[in-house]
Chains A and B, each alone.
Chain A
Amino acid sequence: MASVWEALRLRMLRRRLLWRAFRARARLTEVVRRPIPKGAILCFGCIRNEGARLPWFLQHHRKLGVDRFLFVDNGSTDGSAAWLAREPDVSLWTTGDSYKASRFGLDWVNALLMRYGSGHWCLTLDADELFTFPEEHRGLRALTDWLDAHGAAEMAALMLDLYPKGPLGGTHTPGQNPLELLPYFDPDGYSRTRMPRYAHVSIRGGPRARVFFRDTPERAPHLHKTPLIRWHWRYAYLSSTHLALPERLNAGFQRPDLPTGALLHTKFLPELLQRSDEEKARAAPFTHPDRYGDYYDGLIAAPDFWHPGSARYENPGQLENLGLIQRGLWASGQEM
């Protein structure tokens, strides 16, 4: 009986999210919209003043095999919206609404997913995330074909915080590969907890947990995401791309047969220092924004995340050997 009520609760929650998304669509102003070919792989995102990150972001994901990008621009002032609108594979909407009131942009993204994502493989990312997965050189199309053949509708990815050696800082020229500035990550020290609430696995750890949440690990940022989903208009993201509904979409980390990927998280680029003030005001983290005041103050203080155990990022194969991502049953071409 309990499970029936639980299912009902989730269904109502999902419907509420869809309703919000439906309403949010009216608040989006179309700037440019490109036709979407059948079977195209789409990338969705909500951005604001990401002019420096976007060129590399687009280049990286085009190379992976994303066919079309669909962005919502939330009042950028750095000219990035105009730049985006000129890109041939980018569709762009703008809105001046409150980021916070639209559940941190998620209502807008859900709206676009509902309208344009149904039936497509959709990669939903933030501008500071670079998606990668085992056998990346085969491309996204090979991956999604394989997932289709195995009846999987989702793929999970671990957020991997990248950081420099020494305190945050330096200069990042727009279009530069962020990995040149942020070559290090934590190869270990991640914890996983199975959460019954949305049938997902909560992963925490990484440099932020190590430095800022030593004493409150249960408040450290979540690192599990499900960025790649074969979308259906009845699906909805619940909390960033950490959680999706229906809850079977959260199973990606629980299936040993499916590949998982990583999101190279380039949050700690130098821009961050100027932006943390603003972010603090925008209260970007999802749950309990009040608890993160110290966290932003810590970021503004330009900490040094590096320690002797840090690893230098090389390629997805390295992440696989470290056990951070897995290939599941997707067979390798190399002898191991």
Chain B
Amino acid sequence: MTVGFVMLCHTALERAAEVARHWAERGCPVVIHVDRRVARLAYDGLVQSLADLGNVRFSARFACEWGTWGIVAATQEASALMLRDFPDVRHVYLASGSCLPLRPVEEMKAYLDDRPRTDFIESVTTSDVGWTVGGLNLERFTLRFPFSWRSQRKAFDWYVSLQRKLGFRRQIPAGIEPHLGSQWWCLTRQTLSAILENPDRAAIDRYFRRVWIPDESYFQTMVRQFSTNVESRSLTLAKFDYQGKPHIFYDDHLQLLRRSDCFVARKIWPQADKLYDTFLRGNSQGQASAEPNPGKIDRLFSKAVDRRTKGRAGLYMHSRYPNENWENGRTAAPYSVFEGFSEVFENFEAWLGKVAGTRAHGHLFALDRAHFAGNESVFSGALSDSAKLRDYAPKNFLSNLIWNTRGERQCFQFGPGDRQDISWFIACDPNAQISVITGAWAIPLFHSNKNFGDIRREAAWLQREETYHVGILRSHFAKARIRIWTLAEFVENPMEPLQSIIDEISPRSQRRLTEAPRLADLKGFGQFLQNLRNQGMQPVMMGDFPTGEDPAPAASRRGRPYLVK
């Protein structure tokens, strides 16, 4: 008893010949089908090169366009020839010209001898498959597909949606339960001959002729009618990317293929000399009884594909520009944005850096330049402090900063006086922790030595900017962790909000804040606001700040307030 190979070839015929010779010389009959679209000269060359082998046959040629009936017809024809000419064959293995045997034929024979009644064919009901390209499962069997998916995609899609709209359905022949699966199978003589000699075959073939991609469904469906023992998996290792194109194996996949313990792999790049040399001519003795283990490669490939298509979180691929928000996360790591804090507290950045153990930047988006921590002019990873360079692509600037410093939490100040282009970006970034004290911009104005008219104008402008910014933060698109206090609320009790922010930044420290930053001098601030009002500008963002009297706890705790545990 032996196994016979049916090979469907259309390119790289020299490689196909090598593989056929490998099998034939080891006592396995081979029937080769060559696509009719291959030139006669090349075909004759192939026939010539294998002429010395008595157990190689060539079957009648069909044109095998992808997804069409020709592939099934070719398989049927070649299989029938195999069963007829080689009575010794018990299992028929369907392979392609770009397949490569990974384990010695003896091991495969032994494996199949242990399972003489088993049909190895992936065969899954249409409702259970998740991998079909184009989203067509059952509809492959109920619609008509006169247009080519590859070359007439628009017409294809249009016709499918038209049939859906009209409710058109083809009748599935009675007794047929559609199944799908990998094209590459290994069937027993009993099952295969039952399929080929089925008295209804003419009618069934007629039906499948119009099914989409019948090579993935014809045998997979019919085997359910005749087989007593279907093992629903393919013995051929074949991986597909999400576009439905087969992954190609190169020389550098050698170790991976070795460890897969699969019998046959496809598809191999024709010029992968090392692979062909190793597996066809080398003595790659695996563990004789090892069970094929495509899972290993599966995991590897899915991981690779996942990462390669999504990118790593927050790393903008400089090499491409995908659709907006297609990236896997906007930024790589959590970061904190403080708005108004450096106005309310004196020397807030230094305090923050010390308490939270982070990099506390100044106003990164200030109009004049990016105020990096320590006043550096070039920050890690070639980030320049030039405002123009930053404003040319502010989102890139921020995500580059977060990516370059991953492992070290970044904090920066922001305010209505800064470039506002980044507002939406941070508001919609789940990695951002945004804490806002609204109206704090008035404090520097209060301390400034400017004419009141200028102060009023600037206050109006800052308030307008902040109102807009807070509107963004409050919108339902915002995904950041956002806290907003008015200035009045905040100065009444500054320690509690600070504590919760710091806890979030460094959750492991679990320390009570013992030292608060020094509050800015607010004596007379209420009166300052009243003056603004009197001048016709309505300051609202700082909340209900009492006029005349100064906020009690803040003003009285001037100096260094210490919290008592």
Q: Please state if B305 and A329 are interface contacts (CB–CB under 8 Å).
A: yes
CB pair A158–B319 under 8 Å, yes or no, is yes
Docked Cα-Cα span, A329 to B255, in Å, equals: 20
Instruction: Tell me whether A334 is interfacial, beta carbon within 8 Å.
Output: yes
Contacting residue for B320 out of A145, A256, A329, A331, CB 8 A: A256
- A145: which B residues are within 8 A, CB to CB? 248, 269
**Chain A CB within 8 A of B378 CB:** yes
Neighbouring A residues of B382 by C-beta, 8 Å: 186-189, 210, 307, 309-310
- A335:B388 contact, CB within 8 angstroms: no
Tally of chain A residues near chain B (CB < 8 A): 56
Bound form: Cα–Cα A305–B155 in Å: 54
B308 close to chain A: CB less than 8 A:
yes
**B271 to A323, Cβ gap below 8 A?**
no
Interface size of B as a range: 35 or more
0/1 string, A318-330, CB within 8 A of B gives 1: 0000011111110
In the bound complex, do residue A326 and residue B392 qualify as a contact, i.e. CB atoms below 8 Å apart?
Answer: no
Question: Would you give the shortest CB distance from B207 to chain A, in whole angstroms?
Answer: 31
What string of 1s and 0s marks CB contacts (under 8 Å) between A261-292 and chain B?
Answer: 01000000000000000000000000000000
Interface residues of A in 213-256 (CB under 8 A from B): 214-218, 253-256
B308 touches A329 (CB 8 A): yes
Q: Decide yes or no whether B114 CB sits under 8 A from chain A.
A: no
Taking CB atoms, residues of chain B closer than 8 Å to A307 are 378, 382
Pairwise interchain contact A254-B322, C-beta atoms closer than 8 A:
yes
From B254, B271, B378, B382, residue with most partner A Cβ within 10 Å: B382
Q: How far is the CB of A184 from chain B (nearest CB, A)?
A: 11
Indicate whether B247 reaches chain A with its CB closer than 8 angstroms.
yes
With an 8 A cutoff between CB atoms, is B54 at the interface? no
A11 within 8 A of B: no
Report whether B252 and A334 are in contact in the complex, using a CB–CB cutoff of 8 Å.
yes
Given A187-B381, A324-B319: A333 touches B253 (CB 8 Å cut-off) = yes
B316 at the interface (CB under 8 A from A): yes
**Docked-complex contact A329 and B322, CB < 8 angstroms:** no
Enumerate chain A residues within 8 angstroms of B301, measured Cβ to Cβ: 331
Interchain nearest-CB distance for B458 vs A (Å) = 26
Interchain CA distance A156-B271 in the complex, whole Å: 24
Question: Is the C-beta of A34 less than 8 angstroms from some C-beta in chain B?
Answer: no
Residue B250 CB within 8 A of the other chain: yes
Binds B, one of A2-10, A191-199, A296-304: A191-199
Which residue in chain B gives the minimum CB-CB distance to A210? Answer: B384
A210 to chain B: closest CB distance in Å? 6
CB of A323 within 8 A of CB of B250, answer no
- A137-B252, A329-B305, A333-B253 as given contacts; A189 in contact with B322, CB under 8 Å: no
Residues of B within 8 A of A186 (CB): 382
CB pair A217 B389 closer than 8 Å: yes
- Whether A149 contacts B245 by the Cβ 8 Å rule is yes
Asked if B309 and A194 make an inter-chain contact with CB atoms under 8 angstroms apart, the answer reads no
> In the assembled complex, how far is the CB of residue B244 from the closest CB belonging to chain A, in whole angstroms?
11
Residue of B nearest to A329 (CB): B241
B302-343: which have CB < 8 Å to A?
A: 303-305, 307-309, 311-312, 315-322, 326
> Which single residue of chain B is at the shortest CB-CB distance from A201?
B321
Contacts known (A142-B271, A256-B320, A260-B320); A191 close to B381, Cβ less than 8 A: no
Q: What residues of B have a CB within 8 angstroms of the CB of A331 in the complex?
A: 239, 241, 247-248, 301, 304-305
A299–B9 CA distance with the chains assembled, in angstroms? 58
Q: At the interface, yes or no: B300 with Cβ under 8 Å from chain A?
A: yes
Q: Is B251 an interface residue (CB 8 A)?
A: yes
Give the residues in chain A near B269, CB-CB below 8 Å.
Answer: 138, 142, 145
CB distance from B329 to the nearest CB of A (A): 13
Cβ distance B3 to chain A, nearest Cβ, rounded Å: 29
CA distance A141 to B272 in the complex (A): 11
A203 at interface, CB cutoff 8 A = yes
Proximity bits, B60-93, A CB within 8 Å = 1, else 0 = 0000000000000000000000000000000000
- A137-B252, A189-B400 given as contacts; is B384 within 8 A of A329 (CB)? no
B475 close to chain A: CB less than 8 A = no
The residue in B271, B317, B319 that gathers the most chain A C-beta atoms within 10 A of its C-beta is: B319
CB of A192 within 8 A of CB of B304, answer: no
Q: Give Cα A219 to B122, complex, Å.
A: 58
Which chain B residues border A333 with CB–CB below 8 Å? 250-256
Would you call B250 and A138 a contact (CB within 8 A)?
A: yes
Chain B residue at smallest Cβ distance from A149: B245
28 A-B contact pairs sorted by A residue (CB < 8 Å): A138-B250, A142-B250, A142-B271, A145-B248, A158-B318, A187-B381, A188-B403, A188-B404, A189-B381, A189-B382, A191-B396, A191-B397, A192-B396, A193-B393, A204-B392, A210-B384, A217-B386, A218-B392, A254-B322, A256-B322, A257-B243, A323-B311, A326-B308, A327-B308, A329-B245, A331-B239, A336-B304, A336-B307
Can you add 8 more A-B contacts, CB < 8 Å, to A194-B321, A328-B309? A138-B252, A187-B382, A214-B384, A253-B320, A254-B322, A323-B315, A326-B308, A331-B301
Binding site for A on B (CB under 8 A): 239, 241-243, 245, 247-248, 250-256, 269, 271, 300-301, 303-305, 307-309, 311-312, 315-322, 326, 378, 380-384, 386, 388-389, 392-393, 396-397, 400, 403-404
Ranked nearest first, the 8 interchain pairs of A and B with the lowest CB-CB distance are: A333-B252, A191-B393, A189-B382, A188-B381, A201-B321, A217-B392, A190-B318, A329-B241
